[in-house]
C-alpha cells in the first residue's frame, strides 16, 4: 500500500521502457511565487521541479548523487494527463494529484 502522500512515477529502465514506482510528491509555492513540485523518488533522491509554459522544466537535485545539480529538461502532458519529462536520453513520467 502506498503512503497517503505518494504519487506515481515512471522511470526509464535498462530496457528503454518506463517502469512504474511510487514516489512522494508535494506541491507548493516557492518564495518567488512559482508553483513547484518536490519529489522523492523510489531511491530516496530528492528534487524540486518547476514546470514552465514553454515546455521546459527546471530540476534541482537537493540530495543524493546529483545533489546541487540543476538540469533544464523538456516536458509535456501525455494522454493520461501525466507530466512526461525528457532529460537528454533519459525519460520519466510524474503523476501529481
CA geometry: angle at 28 spanning 12 and 64, to 5°?
A: 45
Confidence of residue 1 (pLDDT cuts 50, 70, 90): very low
pLDDT in tens, 29-87: 999 999 999 999 888 999 999 999 999 999 999 998 889 999 999 999 999 999 999 99
The alpha helices in the chain, defined as continuous H runs, are: none
CA 30/CA 36 separation, integer angstroms: 7
pLDDT tens-digit series, residues 69-78: 999 999 999 9
Amino acid at each position: 500500500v502506498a503512503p497517503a502522500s505518494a504519487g506515481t512515477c515512471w522511470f526509464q529502465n535498462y530496457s528503454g521502457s518506463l517502469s512504474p514506482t511510487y514516489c512522494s510528491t508535494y506541491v507548493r509555492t516557492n518564495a518567488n511565487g512559482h508553483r513547484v513540485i518536490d519529489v522523492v523518488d523510489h531511491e530516496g533522491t530528492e528534487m524540486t521541479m518547476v514546470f514552465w509554459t514553454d515546455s521546459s522544466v527546471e530540476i534541482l537535485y537537493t540530495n543524493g548523487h546529483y545533489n546541487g545539480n540543476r538540469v533544464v529538461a523538456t516536458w509535456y502532458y501525455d494522454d493520461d494527463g501525466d507530466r512526461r519529462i525528457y532529460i537528454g536520453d533519459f525519460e520519466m513520467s510524474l503523476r501529481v494529484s
